[in-house]
Amino acid sequence: MPIVTLTMNPAIDSAARTDLVLPTDKMRCSAPRFDPGGGGINVARTVAALGEPVTAIYPAGGHTGVFLEQLVRAAGVPSYAVATAEPSRENLAVFADDTGAQYRFVFPGPRLTPAEQHRCLAAVERHAPGADYVVASGSLPPGVESDFYQILADVAAAQGVPMILDTSGAALRGIRRGVFLIKPSVRELAQLAGRALPDRDTQVAAARELVNASVAEVVVVSLGAEGVLAVTAERSQWFPAIPVPVRSGIGAGDAMVGGIAVGSARGYELDDAIRLGIAAATAALTTSGTAPGLRSRIEQLYEEQTRAAAPVAEIG
């Protein structure tokens, strides 16, 4: 059964390299790389890379929207674009060769009208029946109220399809009920909780508050290089990260969501679905731009974790 993704604020992600980054001076860059971007599109690319059926839904407008649609098709992702009056956004990432630092310039995106927002919801409603999961990922563009993802969760629930959500800020605070899984970073979880979360116990407590309030059944907290924390009503577990040389960190969190969605759709236990997510994120770290990892590499990393019985620490 397919996975349906929604990206409310998609982008053309441009990436290039330069010798060093300085103020005022012109910085001569390499030829740019262009990728279709935005959380749900990145998730869909990982799902497709793993050989599972997926449909990516997103708004697109203007000449940039046309280019975005071309990039999504070239990535081999079946999709449905909702036409918008304002043009789709572009983002820019520049890699400085002298320091290895990555500079990311992210723009707000077009203002979506209420009618355009409704058409996005209607597109999900049409494609959701029979899907294993609806995955919403990324920020909300201007003009979209912070409770939009709650409305989407209610639409998915009415179709009997569980929803996975990866967002932050006001969009995350707007969720009150009915999501299967959310994946905040530890920083996003602290912002949502309104307090510092300096250790695993406080992180687990903040995540379990969301579970106990029926916001989500599962909270998967990304800890960056420190791994992943998974919290349900019954258990809290820590999974280590896989150390690899990082080529680009853009889209790695989305790749994790894609891997978790695929594992869940395949009927994996939560532990194994998270291992597949970690494998997908790790493989994405070693690719250029926002490209997903190769299926063979993701499967290799997953099998290595499974064979090694990658240590999982029970917390609390």
CA 277, 234, 169, 137 torsion: positive or negative? positive
Q: Is 254 part of the annotated catalytic residue set?
A: yes
Q: Count other C-beta atoms under 10 Å from residue 315's C-beta.
A: 16
CA–CA separation, 294 and 286 (whole Å) = 10
Torsion-angle region of 213 (φ positive above 0: left; ψ -120 to 50: alpha; else: beta): alpha
What is the C-alpha to C-alpha distance for residues 306 and 187, in angstroms, rounded to an integer?
29
Of the candidates 25, 254, 271, 272, the residue annotated as catalytic is 254
**Catalytic sites, residue numbers:** 254
